[in-house]
Amino acid sequence: MSVSATDISIKKVENSRLSQVDFSNIQFGKIYSDHMLICNYEDGQWKQPEIMPFHNLTLSPATTFFHYGQAIFEGIKAYKGPDGEPLIFRPRDNWRRFNKSAVRMAMPEIPEDIFIEGLKALIKLDENWIPATEDTALYIRPFMVATDEFIGVKTAEKFSFMIITSPAGPYYSKPVSIYVQDQYVRAFPGGIGFTKAAGNYGMSMYPTQEIKKMGYDQILWTDGFEHKYVQEIGTMNVFFVIGDTVITPDIKHDTILAGVTRDSVLALLREKGMKVEERTLSIDEIADAYKAGELKEAFGTGTAASIAPIASLTYHDVTMQLPPVETWETANYLKKTLANIRYGRVADTHNWVVKA
């Protein structure tokens, strides 16, 4: 089906909740905008998308995704441009990745027009929910769940695609402390580590809970075979500046999410003429670089986190303390450059920004 903005059924709220929101004190993922989009898949085809007031769902206890985990999602952000116009960062890349997740999870691919036109119409309707201050945005959460009312192990036949939005401030308010995990495993080759499937995050909850009790913010996962090759952090991809080279784990084994921010960072670094390597990287190499004084910076990248400096890495009983963030060149350059593009303050030479 082909969808334009005029094809989308829209039912507006009678009274907006916008006046109840304190935009000077936004907690990530706590407040939701007035409207949501829903599009159902039945009988082998997608139905007409609808935008309606944000509301709770009524579902059977036998609904498939409750039991068998057929659930995927994405994360996108919209920013307020200089003229107040909503600017959405790289939504088509998220649409493509969403469909990669869908294929791996035996779910129907969502057509581009439903995803993009539906998203744009929703953002335009709720554009006043986009915060206007630095380091803020409207976080956009597209997701799909299997909705058969059947508790048998089989691929579902009915699905619901939805988009909800939430005004957001910084995901991390300060540089993060990272625990290098070599007991629990996030992903193996042949698994679903490259998808944004709900189960990927569910299995990380217990190990993350345990390291938070120890005083750390997040886990840096290692491979499942030797437990020494770094993969990604729980909420983001990871980069290391060793000497004059920026290194990030490669994604060729499908154990690491192909981050949109990760891809943006790689493009900006290469444009700047910096030495960049995507390759296998062991925690031992990182530790050796630290001992030699060559580990200059470490940072995470992601839609929610943007550029998140890493204050320290702890591996076994050794803590690698990074230099003060104020002295960093690479991460600070990337954060400023990405912000200028996202907020429309510079020319978008990459065609990354989409207007709602």
Of 169, 191, 225, the residue that ends a domain is 169
Q: Which residues contact 341 (CB under 8 A, 6 or more apart)?
A: 89, 348, 350, 352, 353
Q: Which residues contact 289 (CB under 8 A, 6 or more apart)?
A: 240, 242, 243, 295
Q: What is the pLDDT of residue 5?
A: 56
**Shared-domain flag, residues 155 and 232:** no
pLDDT over 90 at 237, yes or no? yes
**Element of type H or E holding 114:** helix 112-125
Report yes or no: 109 and 102 within 8 Å, Cβ to Cβ. Answer: yes
Q: Torsion over CA of 207, 208, 209 and 214, rounded to 10 degrees?
A: 100
CATH number at residue 67: 3.30.470.10
Tokens of 267: 């493009």
pLDDT grade for 27, boundaries at 50, 70 and 90: confident
**Shared-domain flag, residues 234 and 308:** yes
pLDDT tens per residue, range 72-100: 999 999 999 999 999 999 999 999 999 99
pLDDT tens per residue, range 265-308: 999 999 999 999 999 999 999 999 999 999 999 999 999 989 99
The angle at the Cα of 256, spanning 137 to 301, to the nearest 5 degrees, equals: 30
pLDDT grade for 1, boundaries at 50, 70 and 90: low
- How many domains does the chain contain in total? 2
Place of tokens 């192990």: 153
Of 169, 191, 224, the residue that ends a domain is 169
Residue 349 located in a structural domain: no
pLDDT over 90 at 2, yes or no? no
Q: Report helix, strand and coil shares of the chain as percent, to nearest 5.
A: 25, 30, 45
One-character DSSP codes across 140-186: EEEEEEE--B--SSS--S-EEEEEEEEEE--S-SSPEEEEEESSS--
**Shared-domain flag, residues 211 and 188:** yes
**Shared-domain flag, residues 323 and 240:** yes
237: left (phi over 0), alpha (psi -120 to 50) or beta: beta
% of the chain exceeding 90 in pLDDT: 92
Query: How many of the other CB atoms lie within 10 Å of CB of 35?
Result: 24
Q: What global pTM score does this model have?
A: 0.95
Q: Which domain holds residue 103?
A: 5-169
Residue 354 located in a structural domain: no
